[in-house]
Amino acid sequence: MTDPIFGRLDGSVTPFDDLFRNPSVNEAVASGAALAVILGVVAVVWMLTRHRLWAPLWRDWLTSADHKKIGIMYCVLAGVMLVRGVLEGVVMRTHQVTALDGGMLSADHFAQLFSTHGTIMIFFVATPLITGLINFAVPLQIGARDMAFPVLNQVSLGLTAAGAGLVMVSLVVGQFGTGGWTMYPPYTGATFSPGPGVDYWLWAIGISGIGSTLSGLNFAVTIYKMRCPGMTWLRMPMFTWTALCTAIMMVYAFPPLTVATAMLALDRYLDFHFFTNDLGGNMMHYANVFWMFGHPEVYIVVLPAYGVFSEISATFAAKRLYGYNSLVIATMAIAVISFCVWLHHFFTMGQGAPVNAAFGIATMIIAVPTGVKVYDWLATLYEGRIRMSVPIIYLAGFFILFVFGGLTGVILANPTIDYQVHNSQFLVAHFHNVLIRGTLFGIFAGIHYWFPKAFGFRLDETLARRAAWLWFAGFCLAFLPLYWLGLMGMPRRSASYDNPAFEPAMWLAFAGGLLVLAALATTVWTFVASIRNRAALACPVGDPWDGRTLEWSVPCPAPAFNFFATPSVRALDPLTIEKAEGTPYEEADGYEDIEMPRNTALGMILAVATGVMGFALVWWVWWLAALALVAVIGAVIARAFVEDTHQRIPADELRQAHLAFLRRVRQTRAVDRDDETGPANKGLARPEVPA
Amino acid sequence: MSGTAHPGLNLGAAHGKARDRSEKGAFGFWVFLMSDLIIFGILFATYIVMLPARAGGPGPETLFDLSSIGAQTALLLASSFTYGMASLSMKHGGRRAPVALWLALTGVLGAGFITLEMRDFIHMAGEGGVPSRSGWLSALWALVGLHGLHVAAGLLWIAVMLALLALRGLNDAVKSRLLLLGLYWHFLDLAWIGIFTIVFLGGMA
């Protein structure tokens, strides 16, 4: 019987209550995590109040429709979630070294940890990070002033934040599900998992998934319709190409996720029978629909990272990207083939040899365009004047470890081998090897690369290099031993084991976990130290790396309207050509009045309303859920009646700003590429040879 | 921006920015509809997968009432026709009264559809055909119910557009939105034809 006002909520839902009743290491870890969330929120509120930052936060960030700020907020959100995800990984490793015949955590707690870790890393770290990078960089790269739908963009961010918030709240109120990040029924159905844990996952993923669909739509329309004059398809920067493919994949891949979560929710809430054991339910159908999303998703998060590697290999080798057309074709090929391989996630679930063979072959084929890309980047670096700065360190780590991880993927693509190693630590090693080295390294490289464009100063190179090496070493140690463990027969997701032979490799992986923790701390410190030293690291002229694409032709940080005058493009790498011809930084022929979207609170309202709705549904507080739904619909309808959505910036203001920028350019000393990491780099590059 | 303005809308070159904006919006809405179509597609696939999952529960022969389904189909198709008339009067007449009238008529026909559909659902539940009875019934209620929810959302949208017409008249923003609503409304027709064929005609065959 549930309370009509509080639903399933009562005084016993927090981990503190469990710690009080049953003191143990397990409960202490759970309470510590909950306390960390509460203290974190308190610290943020206190900081904002003390520095009187509430009004600027609201005015300049939360209600802004500027694609750059939304992109940055996506990355900040993902950064917070990354900290939690990494910490959970380290806690799991700590548990595993003690897990011979037991372990410090309960099996249930361990299952929650791998479920939240996976959910967070895929949905609230990788996806928002690439969404953030695309948001930030694509309009600048194609010469646009904003996204096609700036307010929708804000709404997408709001929905993602609501989902992330639900996952965070689950640490304090109640518990998360224990079905892994994929939450396979019937285990996660109402019969076997009656508690609120699976519901947290359902609404977090359901709400943020809709946000991702809308993001994909927005990116696709932006790239189709908002390119500046002359920016033809084959003049688009490679990152924009990968963003386009990711956008199209988001539009097609996230709806299956929405359907899978909705059907599981119907099973759990309204006693439907899609995936139950009885009355005709069919759990295989869940696996199919979920992985129709799930497999494209890994390419959704990895393709933009490939785009970053394309940008940085050309920039830091000071060469034109090798094989541009082949990279475009390879990207498109991956996007299409990625929809034809989903079944390799469940070769062992009984669909028979012919079906397995078809999907196994498709899976092997998808390695071919990926190989084309790796060769293209190698050829770009070949005979280039490479500066071994941070993004290139990540690229080097990617080359070695990603190819390693990719090849183990080709091994797994063979169903007969998959039967031996599926559900083992071998698989854990494989997907961490590809996802971390592909997505995370690419995103770190991209953040280092575009950070000056966002904030006007570079990141501290020495610290960032240390962080890069630590990530590299830490991930090697944390995941390579798992291949060995997997081949020895250690299953994934096992809370304890009885074979002492697993222990040595487990200790190696634990040491790797500690190194990863050190890498995380160094990364955080890189940001702190760089912010403190921002005057010395400033590069206001806007081209600190001798960039090749349009975004480097505007100041750092980029102005709200992006471009003083709409650029026009004649070829690939327009800025490199202008610099070679000696014509960058010139006054435009004419300036026009422009219209920029006004601030709006719609995204925040929807974030709060959908977050409250999700929470209320998790705890069966029906009246609150209904109220929140009415608020969502009401806010959207009210928005339709707002007429004054744009503000005008007069041409003269743009011209004055541009002239001031050009004066600054003339007063700045240019730096050679070799000195770009030094203090003399104020953002004006001196190219040596026409490239 | 190059390209042709969407047919059915009186936004010539003279409309400048309004035309550009409507082009982005229309294209974005097409993309949205594609993504919505994936949702319907998966539910259709689910329905077909679940066809044998009757679990001894009631089937189409006791639950479906083809004459009611036929009436619903007629109402929905007629409402698409009246929406087409609304689009034509927007393009050629440019006065708000006929547009509002056709729009309201579309809403009435849509509401008729929803009423009949609700009656059918109640009838099915009375015969024991509730979604908790079998996998097949779960899939049926989800697919047909989702279409019904779409129509209900469309009715709400029509109401909002009538309010905007009354407040603002036929300005550029209202015209663009009426164009999008038209795409949405015809899309629902399309989805219904799929449901009518696969679920109802297929079930009675």
Residue B161 has pLDDT above 70, yes or no: yes
* pLDDT score, position B91: 82
Sign of CA dihedral A22, A27, A33, A36: positive
Q: What is the pLDDT of residues A407-434, one digit of tens each?
A: 999 999 999 999 999 999 999 999 999 9
Smallest CA–CA distance, residue B132 to chain A, in Å, is 5
Distance CA A360, CA A344 (A): 7
Taking the Cβ of residue B35 and every Cβ of chain A, the question of whether any pair is shorter than 8 Å is answered with yes
**What pLDDT is recorded for position A322?**
96
Distance CA B99, CA A458 (A): 57
Q: List, for residues A154-208, the tens digit of each pLDDT value.
A: 999 999 999 999 999 999 999 999 999 999 999 999 999 999 999 999 999 999 9
Q: How far is CA A161 from the centre of its chain?
A: 13
List phi, psi (to 5°) of A647.
Answer: -120, 150
Cα(A445)–Cα(A395) distance, integer angstroms: 8
Query: Which positions ≥6 away from A75 have C-beta within 8 Å?
Result: A128, A129, A132, A133, A136, A447
* pLDDT one-digit tens code per residue, A632-643: 999 999 999 998
B204–chain A Cβ distance below 8 A for any pair:
no
Mean pLDDT over each residue of chain B, to the nearest integer = 91
Which is more confidently placed, A209 or A352? A209
Mean pLDDT, chain A, whole residue set: 95
Name the residue facing B135 among A218, A281, A641 (closest C-beta): A281
CB-nearest partner of B53 from A282, A633, A637: A282
Distances (CA, A) of B167 to A318, A573, A640, B95, B158: 58, 49, 12, 14, 14
For residue B147, what are its two tokens? 């279409």
DSSP reduced 3-state for A457:
strand
Q: What is the mean pLDDT of residues B106-118?
A: 98
Whether residue A690 is predicted with pLDDT greater than 70 in this model: the reply is no
Q: Please list every residue in chain A whose beta carbon sits closer than 8 Å to the beta carbon of residue B43.
A: 259
- Whether residue A280 and residue B54 make contact (CB cut-off 8 A), yes or no, is yes
In the structure encoding, which two tokens stand for residue A145, read together? 């002033």
**Distance between CA A327 and CA A306 in Å, rounded?**
10
Ramachandran category for residue A143: left, alpha or beta (phi over 0 → left; psi -120 to 50 → alpha): left
Q: Domain residues of chain B, as ranges?
A: 64-204
- Kindly give the interhelix angle for A283-317 and A390-412, rounded to the nearest 10 degrees: 150
Per residue, the 3-state secondary structure of A116-139, as one string, reads HHHHHHHHHHHHHHHHHHHHHHHH
Average of pLDDT values for A474-502?
95
CB atoms within 10 A of CB B203: 18
d(CA A358, CA A360): 5
**B5 has a pLDDT exceeding 70:** no
Question: For an interface test with A, which of B35, B47, B155, B175 has the most A Cβ atoms less than 10 Å from its Cβ?
Answer: B35
d(CA A471, CA A477): 10
Tell me which chain A residue has its CA closest to the CA of residue B133: A279
Select the residue from B31, B141, B150, B168 to test the A interface by mutation, using most A Cβ atoms within 10 A.
B31
Within 8 A of B17 by CB-CB distance, chain A residues are 595
Distance of alpha carbon A24 from alpha carbon A232, whole angstroms:
63
* Chain A contact set for B136 (CB, 8 A): 280
Residue B2 confidence class, pLDDT cut points 50, 70, 90: very low
Cα(A276)–Cα(A291) distance, integer angstroms: 18
What whole-number distance in Å separates Cα of residue A6 and Cα of residue A349? 41
Q: Do A255 and B138 touch (CB under 8 A)?
A: no
Average confidence (pLDDT) over A99-105: 90
- pLDDT over 90 for what percent of chain A? 92
Are B139 and B203 in contact by the 8 Å Cβ rule? The answer is no
Please answer whether residues A546 and A572 qualify as being in contact, where contact means their C-beta atoms are separated by less than 8 angstroms.
no
Contact B24 A254 (CB under 8 A): no
pLDDT at B172: 84
B38 touches chain A (CB under 8 A): yes
Closest partner residue to B32 (CB to CB) among A217, A225, A226 is A217
Our measurement of the distance from residue A84's CA atom to the centroid of its chain's CA atoms, rounded to an integer in Å, reads 14
Task: Report the distance separating Cα A103 and Cα A465, nearest Å.
Answer: 36
CA A617 to chain centroid: 27
Q: Does A148 touch chain B (CB under 8 A)?
A: yes
Which of A263, A270, A640 shows the shortest C-beta gap to B164? A640
Query: B139 and chain A: CB distance < 8 Å anywhere?
Result: yes
Class of the domain covering A53-600+645-675: mainly alpha
Lowest-confidence region among A14-28, A234-248, A408-422: A14-28
Q: Note the pLDDT of residue A116.
A: 97
pLDDT band at B121 (very low <50, low <70, confident <90, very high): very high
Q: What pLDDT digit, counting tens, does each position of A371-388 carry?
A: 999 999 999 999 999 999
Give the ipTM of the model, two decimals please.
Answer: 0.95
Q: How far apart are CA B161 and CA A352, in angstroms?
A: 53
pLDDT band at B1 (very low <50, low <70, confident <90, very high): very low
Residues 6+ away with beta carbon under 8 Å from B42? A255, A256, A259, A289, A292
Please say if the pLDDT value at position A691 is more than 80: no
Arithmetic mean of pLDDT, A543-547: 95
Residue from B11, B171, B158 nearest B86 by CA: B158
Using the Cβ of B119 and the Cβ atoms of chain A, whether some distance falls under 8 Å is answered with: no
Q: Is the pLDDT of residue A282 over 60?
A: yes
How far, in Å, CA of A441 to CA of A393, rounded?
A: 9
Q: How far is CA A268 from the centre of its chain?
A: 29
- Band (pLDDT 50/70/90 cuts) for residue B33 is very high
For A649-678, how does the pLDDT look when each residue is reduced to its tens digit (9 = 90+)?
Answer: 999 999 999 999 999 999 999 999 888 999
- For B39, the closest of A255, A279, A282 (CB atoms) is A255
Tokens of B40: 């319907």
Mean pLDDT throughout A329-345? 96
Provide the residue ranges of all domains of chain A, joining segments of one domain with +.
53-600+645-675
- With cut-offs at 50, 70 and 90, classify the pLDDT of residue B22: confident
Taking the alpha carbons at both ends of chain B, their separation in whole angstroms is 51
Q: What is the CATH number of domain B64-204?
A: 1.20.120.80
Is any Cβ of chain A less than 8 angstroms from the Cβ of B184?
no
Is A224 touching B (CB cutoff 8 A)? yes
Establish if B53 touches chain A: CB-CB under 8 angstroms.
yes
pLDDT of A232 reads 96
Mean pLDDT on A389-398: 96
- Taking the C-alpha atoms of residue A470 and residue A50, their distance in angstroms, rounded to an integer, is 35
Residue A479 binned pLDDT confidence (cut-offs 50, 70, 90): very high
Residues of B in contact with A265 (CB under 8 A): none
Rounded average pLDDT over B148-173: 95
> pLDDT digits over A552-578, tens only?
999 999 999 999 999 999 999 999 999
On chain B, the residues whose CB falls within 8 A of the CB of A148 are: 24, 28
- Here the tokens at position A194 are 């009656």
Q: What is the predicted pLDDT for the residue at B21?
A: 74
| Residue A644 forms contact with B (CB below 8 Å) | no
Q: What is the pTM of this model?
A: 0.96
* Nearest to A290, CA basis, from A88, A486, A123, A120: A123
Q: Which residue, A37, A146, A89, A205, is CA-closest to A440?
A: A89
For the cut 90, the answer to whether the pLDDT of residue B12 exceeds it is no
Residue B10 clears pLDDT 70, i.e. is over it:
no
